[in-house]
């Protein structure tokens, strides 16, 4: 019998924050068992027909079924355009999440499975439950990154992103910000980092001797992970974290607001880490309206963005240009672009548009300010 458990809660600065994690399947459900001696096409057909398939022998058997599912969907979605690949990924996600693994006492109940520390961290009181195979893969990958750490240009220390925290895998935009930051001559008493994520921009600002950083994020795992990192590195006095949308409940005014928003307009409902990649139509208008209230008279707003939406036809309007033309709140002080590098040779996605992609750094000030 699978036992139920309430969500995992952390206490940070006296406030309870519930961690975001893959939802465990704790109810009894009907499943089709799969072993590697069986035909993977049968498992794929079961997924297509709406059944749940449980891997019962080797971890690699799940990889075999996923490979067969990808082959089927690639034939079905032969369109290699940006939208065509979106459609492929959407259906793959729907079907692959019916492929399940059993977890018992924080371990996967199949042979030759990876050890995943997040199973103990995120499900400490749950003895037995099911999770979709892709979510197990995500937990495994996130654990490897967390354990190994990620080197970031411009930082002396590695970052160790908590599960479910977006972290950069490309660095052109970070180099752009780092170069600008080294030439920044404004006050350094404080800065607000909106959507702080893995904390890279904030750590860069601390390196440039900003006295205090206020970081916000709507992702609870970001706040949980960064709080642990700051505590470990004795930096809690240098950074205050706020859980919530945009400026959350951070009420102060500052001389510098930094925002590295999502670069692609959403075409679906957003949850979890998707909010770090896709933006709703009202995100930028709400940000600029709030930024105006939180900026000192001679302060600056710095946005890191990209022309990705325009060159892939995912969106026609550039939200920052639209604000400057119609918002009436800000004026442009500086605009810098930088070409991006070629896609990794290991990626299987068609990313021919990257030859035209540019990352952007915008520096805005209040209208009529000096």
Over the chain, what is the mean pLDDT? 88
| Comparison of pLDDT for 346 and 203, the residue scoring more | 203
Other CB atoms within 10 A of residue 145 CB: 18
Per-residue pLDDT at 263: 76
Per-residue pLDDT at 324: 95
Per-residue pLDDT at 157: 85
Closest CA to 248 of 195, 177, 182: 195
Per-residue pLDDT at 362: 97
Q: How confident is the model at residue 275 (pLDDT cuts 50, 70, 90)?
A: low
Q: How confident is the model at residue 348 (pLDDT cuts 50, 70, 90)?
A: very low
pLDDT tens digit string along 111-158?
999 999 999 999 988 989 999 999 999 999 999 999 999 999 889 889
Q: Taking residues 4-24, what's their average pLDDT?
A: 80
Q: Which residues contact 32 (CB under 8 A, 6 or more apart)?
A: 43, 46, 51, 52, 53, 54
Contact 25, 131 (CB under 8 A): yes
Strands 107-108, 99-104: pairing kind: antiparallel
Q: Taking residues 296-303, what's their average pLDDT?
A: 96
C-alpha–C-alpha distance, residues 180 and 362, integer Å: 10
Per-residue pLDDT at 281: 85
Alpha helices in the chain (DSSP H): 40-48, 59-76, 82-96, 118-122, 133-148, 172-182, 200-207, 220-232, 283-294, 308-311, 319-326
Q: Taking residues 252-277, what's their average pLDDT?
A: 77
Per-residue pLDDT at 350: 43
C-alpha–C-alpha distance, residues 191 and 299, integer Å: 10
Residue 2: pLDDT over 60: no
| Comparison of pLDDT for 344 and 41, the residue scoring more | 41
Quote the distance between the C-alpha of residue 288 and its chain's center. 22
Per-residue pLDDT at 77: 77
Picking from 61-70, 79-88, 233-242, 321-330, which range would have the lowest pLDDT averaged per residue? 79-88
Alpha helices in 295-361 (DSSP H): 308-311, 319-326
pLDDT tens digit string along 58-112?
999 999 999 999 998 888 877 777 776 778 888 889 999 999 999 999 999 999 9
C-alpha–C-alpha distance, residues 351 and 11, integer Å: 42
Per-residue pLDDT at 14: 77
Per-residue pLDDT at 315: 58
Instruction: Kindly report the pTM of this predicted structure.
Output: 0.84
Per-residue pLDDT at 314: 57
Distances (CA, A) of 338 to 197, 233, 279, 345, 358: 22, 33, 22, 21, 5
Q: List, in order of start, the domains of the chain with CATH numbers.
A: 9-147 (no CATH), 150-366 (3.40.50.150)
Which of 80-89, 271-280, 300-309 shows the highest mean pLDDT?
300-309
- Residue 255 DSSP class: E
Per-residue pLDDT at 79: 73
The DSSP secondary structure of 148-172, one letter per residue, reads H-B--TT-SS-B-PPTT----S--H
């Amino acid at each position: 019998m699978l036992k139920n458990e309430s969500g995992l809660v952390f206490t940070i600065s006296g406030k309870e924050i519930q961690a975001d994690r893959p939802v465990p399947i704790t109810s009894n459900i009907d499943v089709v068992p799969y072993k590697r001696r069986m035909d993977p096409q049968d498992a794929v057909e079961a997924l297509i027909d709406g059944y749940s398939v449980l891997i019962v022998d080797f971890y690699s058997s799940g990889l075999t079924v996923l490979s067969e599912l990808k082959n089927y969907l690639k034939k079905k979605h032969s369109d290699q355009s940006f939208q065509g690949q979106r459609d492929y990924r959407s259906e793959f996600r729907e079907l692959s999440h019916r492929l399940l693994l059993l977890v018992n006492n924080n371990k996967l109940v199949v042979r030759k499975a990876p050890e995943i520390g997040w199973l103990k961290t995120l499900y400490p009181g749950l003895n037995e439950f099911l999770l979709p195979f892709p979510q197990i893969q995500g937990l495994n990958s996130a654990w490897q990154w967390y354990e190994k750490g990620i080197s970031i240009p411009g930082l002396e220390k590695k970052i160790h992103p908590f599960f479910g925290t977006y972290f950069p895998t490309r660095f052109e935009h970070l180099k752009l910000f780092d170069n600008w930051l080294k030439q920044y001559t404004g006050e350094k008493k404080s800065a607000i980092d909106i959507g702080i994520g893995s904390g890279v921009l904030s750590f860069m600002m601390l390196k440039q001797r900003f006295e205090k950083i206020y970081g916000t994020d709507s992702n609870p795992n970001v706040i949980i992970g960064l709080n642990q990192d700051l505590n470990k590195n004795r930096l809690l006095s240098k950074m205050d974290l706020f859980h919530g949308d945009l400026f959350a409940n951070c009420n102060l005014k500052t001389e510098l607001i930094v925002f590295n928003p999502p670069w692609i307009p959403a075409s679906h409902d957003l949850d979890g880490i998707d909010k770090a990649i896709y933006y709703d139509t009202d995100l930028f208008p709400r940000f600029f309206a709030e930024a105006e209230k939180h900026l000192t008279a001679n302060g600056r707003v710095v946005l890191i963005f990209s022309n990705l939406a325009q060159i892939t036809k995912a969106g026609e309007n550039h939200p920052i240009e639209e604000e400057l033309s119609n918002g009436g709140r800000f004026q442009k002080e500086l605009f810098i672009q930088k070409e991006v590098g070629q896609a990794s040779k290991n990626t299987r996605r068609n990313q021919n548009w990257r030859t035209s992609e540019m990352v952007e750094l915008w520096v805005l000030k209040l209208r009529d300010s000096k």
